[in-house]
């Protein structure tokens, strides 16, 4: 009986130690991937993030990993895969992280020149996350840019005015000036 109890204790300790080693390895991969990313070595960081995504023992949320994979693709100018990764991240993230990720979905689509779809993606921010502060005005601004590229200057001016808000911050003032310039050029 004592032998079984000792075996159980020994196996429990061994299990705890192995979990700690795996967690430390995942943490090491994350630190290495983050370091490579910050050095601009996204093509080297990308497989490390993907490896963590496949590791069920990783100590980072799948939403965060997908977002980091999206960031790598974006920096590599692989916008279709960036959008796909950001879309995979969105439902797995905390609500407080979602407006930022939604912005990057929109911007990835915008970078591909798919302006109608980009507008739709940008406008999800004020619709779904109206209290997300600067992300709302930023989304309206880029919806304006996409509308302008489509030749819809009246709609662009509307979005720029929404981005301009009260006109207190310099970004708001810039958006309001852009709205007036677009409106004047459409006459």
How far apart, in whole angstroms, are the C-alpha atoms of residue 164 and residue 173?
Answer: 6
Which pLDDT score, from 0 to 100, does residue 94 have?
96
% of the chain exceeding 90 in pLDDT: 72
Q: Where in the chain does DSSP place strands (E)?
A: none
Residues 157/144, Cβ–Cβ less than 8 Å: yes
Average pLDDT value for residue range 60-68: 94
Confidence of residue 128 (pLDDT cuts 50, 70, 90): very high
**How many residues does the structure list for the chain?**
187
Query: What mean pLDDT is reported for the chain?
Result: 87
Q: Which DSSP symbol is given to 96?
A: G
DSSP code string of 93-155: S-GGGHHHHHHHHHHHHHHTT-HHHHHHHHHHHHHH-TT-THHHHHHHHHHHHHHHHTT-HHH
Which pLDDT score, from 0 to 100, does residue 62 have?
93
pLDDT tens digits for range 82-108: 999 999 999 999 999 999 999 999 999
Which pLDDT score, from 0 to 100, does residue 16 have?
45
pLDDT tens digits for range 18-55: 333 334 445 788 899 999 999 999 999 999 999 998 88
How far apart, in whole angstroms, are the C-alpha atoms of residue 17 and residue 135?
Answer: 44
Which pLDDT score, from 0 to 100, does residue 175 have?
92
Tokens linked to 49: 């993030």
Domains of the chain: 23-93 (1.25.40.10), 114-187 (1.25.40.10)
Scan for tokens 């990835």, then name that residue. 108
**Total-model pTM:** 0.83
% of the chain exceeding 70 in pLDDT: 86
Which pLDDT score, from 0 to 100, does residue 3 have?
60
Confidence of residue 10 (pLDDT cuts 50, 70, 90): very low
How far apart, in whole angstroms, are the C-alpha atoms of residue 34 and residue 73?
Answer: 14
- Nearest 5°: CA angle at 29, between 23 and 30? 90
How far apart, in whole angstroms, are the C-alpha atoms of residue 69 and residue 50?
Answer: 7
Confidence of residue 17 (pLDDT cuts 50, 70, 90): very low
Scan for tokens 């439902």, then name that residue. 91
Least confident range from 104-113, 117-126, 163-172: namely 163-172
């Amino acid at each position: 009986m004592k032998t079984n109890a000792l075996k159980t204790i020994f196996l429990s300790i061994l299990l705890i130690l192995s979990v700690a080693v795996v967690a430390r390895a995942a943490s090491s991969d994350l630190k290495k991937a983050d370091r490579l990313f910050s050095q601009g070595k996204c093509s080297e960081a990308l497989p490390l993030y993907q490896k963590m995504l496949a590791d069920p023992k990783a100590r980072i949320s799948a939403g965060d990993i997908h977002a980091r994979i999206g960031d790598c693709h974006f920096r590599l100018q692989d916008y279709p895969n960036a959008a796909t990764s950001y879309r995979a991240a969105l439902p797995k993230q905390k609500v407080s992280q979602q407006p930022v990720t939604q912005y990057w979905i929109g911007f990835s689509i915008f970078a591909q020149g798919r302006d109608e779809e980009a507008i739709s993606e940008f406008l999800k921010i004020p619709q779904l996350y109206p209290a997300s502060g600067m992300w709302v005005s930023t989304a309206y601004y880029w919806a304006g840019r996409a509308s302008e590229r489509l030749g819809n200057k009246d709609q662009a001016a509307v979005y720029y005015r929404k981005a301009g808000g009260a006109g207190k911050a310099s970004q708001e003032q810039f958006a309001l000036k852009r709205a007036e310039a677009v409106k004047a050029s459409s006459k």
